[in-house]
Chain A
Amino acid sequence: MNAGRPSGTRLHWWWIGAAALVLLSAIVLGVMVGPVRISPYAIVGSMLDRLPFIEVDTGLSDRTEAILWEIRMPRVVLAVLVGSMLSAAGAGYQGVFRNPLADPYLLGAGAGAGLGATVAIAYGPSTSGWIIDPLPLAAFVGAVAGVALAYILGYTVRSGRTSVTLILAGVAVAAFLTAIQTFLQQRESDTLREVYGWILGSLNTAGWSEVVMVTPYVVVCLAGILAGRRLLDVLAVGDTEAGTLGVKPGRVRLVFVVFATLGTAAVVSVSGLIGFVGIIVPHTVRLLTSASYRVVVPLSILLGGAFLVAADVIARVAVSPSEIPIGVVTAMIGAPFFAVVLRTSKGVVS
């Protein structure tokens, strides 16, 4: 009767197109800005030139091409991967916990990664002696272990396995791991600056090797979160009703937490703990478009990447030639936004 009439929440193609355009613009801006200025036309030309069967004469010198492709591009690509992953993980966490203030570090991924990184920096062997840099590995293992610990704790609570007990377990685990991390940090005060720098996040060591390292995780985890986004809308009616609609909320929550955690652990292992991205990007998408996760997840992936590239540009140029930690930039934008969300939110759904 009314079939075909558009209604409800649809992911309009022009939304996707607009978000993709924003992302592309951010990428071009990110590659353009720096001590050596490169024109946007040359950047787009050089990008096209790298595609098969297309040849474009950009007029760029070999040195500028090297700056473009060996220094700036991997950093920008990594920013896209990190921003997209943290935003999708944030949206996923907000969905499965029905809590608009949930972020990817909710269950202890951040605290675990921080502890892992601190241990690697303070006690790890010098990087030169290892084939693999122990810092990202330790941060990755710490993040995954933190969430696993919270999950085990949350699911062995006698009073019931609810999302609230899981969040509380995450809070306890995060507080515990942060306490250990602070203790170690104080004992090994000569490494304080390095640990502190890592925690605030940075992309200044980014190279193609980091991109290659995190890409498989990000692709798989984003695909997982994207594929199951419809189920996040089902969970919005609460565990009991979702259960009567044929969904197993506990299982869905576990699957999303696994994808969100692996992806988050992978990106923070190379970027450090960049905060607020996972909260402000999904909320901005919600405010601009729809509350449905069918829309929030894909647009957060595109705009999260764009946001972090833009934040990294500010981090690079604001006090040039030195850099502001990117976590500071995202928090300086994120904190006021967070306050607005808190003020307009009628209450945390529990």
Chain B
Amino acid sequence: MTSSLDFNAITVSYGDHQVLHEVSVGIGGGGWLGIVGPNGAGKSTLLRTVAGSVPYGGSVRVNQTPIEEAGHRDRARMVAYVPQRPIHPRGMAVFDYVLLGRTPYLGPLASETSDDISAVWEALDALRLVDFADRDVATLSGGETQRVSLARVVAQDAPIVVLDEATASLDVAAQHEALELIDRLRTERGITVVSAIHDLTAAAQFCEQVALIDHGMVVGAGSPEEVFTEETLAGVFEPSIRVIEVDGSTVIVSLRSEEAKK
């Protein structure tokens, strides 16, 4: 069964500074919602509300039920979260790292069962990481590290996955591969994905829905075709942004002005 996710009038303040102003946006079960916008717009903050790692006003709803009513571990069973820069502790084996994904299913003093171990092997297999099981998680390449983070998410077996610019540090090919992998996991497992994405072209190609955020407010929400117009994007980013079609796909680029070239 898939799970829908809705942000309902989310407000977040850091001290006197209000970062999000009554943000309301949502995605149906099994969909992919991309949160886009300039640096400092509040994308990461919005995602942290789902993970419960920032105090907020309003409500996050999973299948129309407020997630705030769930306990800490129940919440972790509903939502898996990959931060912008996940910590991969030096000396920890890949297997052990992925095993952490089973934490929400274990009581404070409990040990993992054979079902948990099987779930880890399945996750490693899904991400082609079986041969990496005993490797030190801190010694992997960017792309491999990304897959390890996703394997932990798979082991966590939550219907909703929140990714905070999880592919930002990867090169073009590795980023594309990671996004394809996320899309495959989404379609095969019916996972609902919510991700902050800097790369508007990638967002246009992978996300079913996008929410454009600027200064803590939603300035556009809907399908990428609806939101990614030159007029809307120019108002948020810069006037020189262009939306073009290449082989049926939307490509969004920022052109250098004639003045700057001189």
Cβ contact within 8 Å between A244 and B81: yes
Q: Which residues of A contact B103 (CB under 8 A)?
A: 234, 245-247
Cβ contact within 8 Å between A292 and B96: yes
Cβ contact within 8 Å between B133 and A246: no
Residue of B nearest to A292 (CB): B96
Residue of B nearest to A255 (CB): B108
The A145-188 residues at the B interface (CB cut-off 8 A) are none
- Measured between alpha carbons, how far is A332 from B134 in the docked complex, in Å? 36
Residue of A nearest to B112 (CB): A230
- Measured between alpha carbons, how far is A247 from B74 in the docked complex, in Å? 11
Task: Using known A-B contacts A8-B99, A244-B51, determine if residue A1 contacts B89 with beta carbons closer than 8 Å.
Answer: no
CB distance from B84 to the nearest CB of A (A): 10
Cβ contact within 8 Å between B75 and A241: no
Cβ contact within 8 Å between A9 and B104: no
Cβ contact within 8 Å between B90 and A291: yes
Cβ contact within 8 Å between B95 and A237: no
Count of residues in B whose CB is under 8 Å from the partner chain: 47
Q: Is the interface of B mostly helix, strand, loop or mixed?
A: helix
Q: Which residues of A contact B156 (CB under 8 A)?
A: 245
For residue B190, CB closer than 8 A to chain A, the reply is no
Residue of A nearest to B133 (CB): A7
CB distance from A253 to the nearest CB of B (A): 13
For residue B121, CB closer than 8 A to chain A, the reply is yes
Q: Which of B51, B87, B100, B104 meets A233, CB within 8 Å?
A: B100
Q: Which of B104, B111, B133 meets A245, CB within 8 Å?
A: B104
Cβ contact within 8 Å between A290 and B91: yes
Residue of A nearest to B125 (CB): A1
Q: Bits for B124-138, please: 1 = Cβ < 8 Å to A, else 0.
A: 110000100110000
The B85-101 residues at the A interface (CB cut-off 8 A) are 86-97, 99-101
A-B contact count (CB 8 A): 100
Cβ contact within 8 Å between B117 and A230: no
Q: Which residues of B contact A233 (CB under 8 A)?
A: 92, 96, 100
Residue of B nearest to A239 (CB): B53
Residue of A nearest to B71 (CB): A246
The A277-306 residues at the B interface (CB cut-off 8 A) are 286, 290-292
Residue of A nearest to B52 (CB): A243
Q: Which residues of A contact B95 (CB under 8 A)?
A: 7-9
Cβ contact within 8 Å between A248 and B72: yes
Cβ contact within 8 Å between B121 and A2: yes
Cβ contact within 8 Å between B114 and A243: no
For residue B13, CB closer than 8 A to chain A, the reply is no
Cβ contact within 8 Å between B77 and A246: yes
Q: Which of B72, B90, B125 meets A246, CB within 8 Å?
A: B72
For residue A3, CB closer than 8 A to chain B, the reply is yes
Cβ contact within 8 Å between B93 and A9: yes
Cβ contact within 8 Å between A346 and B90: yes
For residue B255, CB closer than 8 A to chain A, the reply is no
Cβ contact within 8 Å between B121 and A227: no
- Measured between alpha carbons, how far is A236 from B79 in the docked complex, in Å? 20
Q: Which residues of A contact B73 (CB under 8 A)?
A: 246
- Measured between alpha carbons, how far is A229 from B99 in the docked complex, in Å? 14
Task: Using known A-B contacts A228-B108, A246-B73, determine if residue A3 contacts B121 with beta carbons closer than 8 Å.
Answer: yes
Q: Which residues of B contact A349 (CB under 8 A)?
A: 89
Q: Which residues of B contact A246 (CB under 8 A)?
A: 72-77, 103-104
For residue A238, CB closer than 8 A to chain B, the reply is yes
- Measured between alpha carbons, how far is A237 from B156 in the docked complex, in Å? 15
Task: Using known A-B contacts A231-B108, A291-B89, A346-B90, determine if residue A245 contacts B100 with beta carbons closer than 8 Å.
Answer: yes
Q: Which residues of B contact A5 (CB under 8 A)?
A: 121
Cβ contact within 8 Å between B125 and A9: no
For residue A189, CB closer than 8 A to chain B, the reply is no
- Measured between alpha carbons, how far is A228 from B89 in the docked complex, in Å? 19
Q: Which residues of A contact B51 (CB under 8 A)?
A: 240, 243-244
Residue of A nearest to B121 (CB): A2
Q: Which residues of A contact B89 (CB under 8 A)?
A: 236-237, 291, 349
Q: Which residues of A contact B79 (CB under 8 A)?
A: 244
CB distance from A44 to the nearest CB of B (A): 34
CB distance from A338 to the nearest CB of B (A): 18
- Measured between alpha carbons, how far is A9 from B99 in the docked complex, in Å? 10
CB distance from A163 to the nearest CB of B (A): 13
For residue B39, CB closer than 8 A to chain A, the reply is no
Cβ contact within 8 Å between B109 and A227: yes
- Measured between alpha carbons, how far is A233 from B103 in the docked complex, in Å? 10
- Measured between alpha carbons, how far is A241 from B86 in the docked complex, in Å? 8
14 A-B pairs besides A8-B120, A246-B76, A290-B91 with CB distance below 8 A are: A3-B117, A8-B94, A8-B95, A8-B96, A8-B133, A234-B100, A237-B86, A240-B51, A243-B53, A247-B72, A291-B90, A292-B92, A292-B93, A292-B96
Chosen A-B contacts, 10 in total, with CB atoms closer than 8 Å, are A1-B118, A3-B118, A7-B134, A227-B109, A243-B52, A246-B72, A246-B75, A247-B72, A286-B91, A292-B96
- Could you list which residues of chain B lie within 8 angstroms of chain A, going by C-beta atoms? 48, 51-53, 72-77, 79-81, 83, 86-97, 99-101, 103-104, 106, 108-109, 111, 114, 117-118, 120-122, 124-125, 130, 133-134, 156
- Could you list which residues of chain A lie within 8 angstroms of chain B, going by C-beta atoms? 1-5, 7-9, 227-228, 230-231, 233-234, 236-238, 240-241, 243-248, 286, 290-292, 346, 349
